[in-house]
Amino acid sequence: MRLFRYRGRDLKELILGGVRSGKSALAETLARESGMEVLYLATATAGDREMGDRIARHRQRRPAHWRTREEPLALASALASEASPTRCILVDCLTLWLSNLLSGDRDRWRRERADLLALLPRLPGRVILVSNEVGWGIVPSSELGRRFRDEAGRLHQALAACCERVILVVAGLPQVLKGEAL
């Protein structure tokens, strides 16, 4: 069953959900059904064996003809160089991107976030952004954990404002919060 028929216009989508909610699988289905050339823009880094295993599972799910580009930090720059009216770019995942940036220079996060938000509305083609919703859990005990949660929430709000469609995935069930139904 097809979830969505792409209508030949530029489309920016934000897919949010908890861990193992089905958000990446939905994003991959939408990209596959777009009928466009797909670029998978991965932000994860394999800092340990478990994360390496997660990355490997994601790679195995993707069709072989999809191109993958790994970019853990300079997301806006990667999007600017790869976007095209005939391409669907799937970015997975924004919270990993945020985590990568928060572990470094604080000013870099502000610059990268601003660059992404300024660029996204102008990008040609289809862009599907995947991110973890982390604001429904407990308050983290560390300053960095609280900053991460707060920055993720602010990022999601800003992205939702500039995306044509926003989807929340819960237990594998997509709920359209904004935009055209699936």
CB 12 within 8 A of CB 127: yes
CATH number for the domain running over 11-178: 3.40.50.300
Amino acid at 17: G
- Of the chain, the end-to-end C-alpha distance in Å amounts to 11
Backbone angles phi and psi of 133, in degrees to 5: -85, 115
β-pairing verdict for 165-170 and 173-178: antiparallel
Residues 6 or more apart from 142 whose CB is under 8 A from it? none
The tokens 């005990």 sit on which residue? 141
58 is catalytic: yes
Tens of pLDDT, residues 129-167: 999 999 888 888 999 999 999 999 999 999 999 999 999
Q: How far apart are CA 36 and CA 32, in angstroms?
A: 8
Tens of pLDDT, residues 58-68: 788 889 999 99
Tens of pLDDT, residues 112-134: 999 999 999 999 999 999 999 99
Catalytic residue among 23, 58, 126, 156: 58
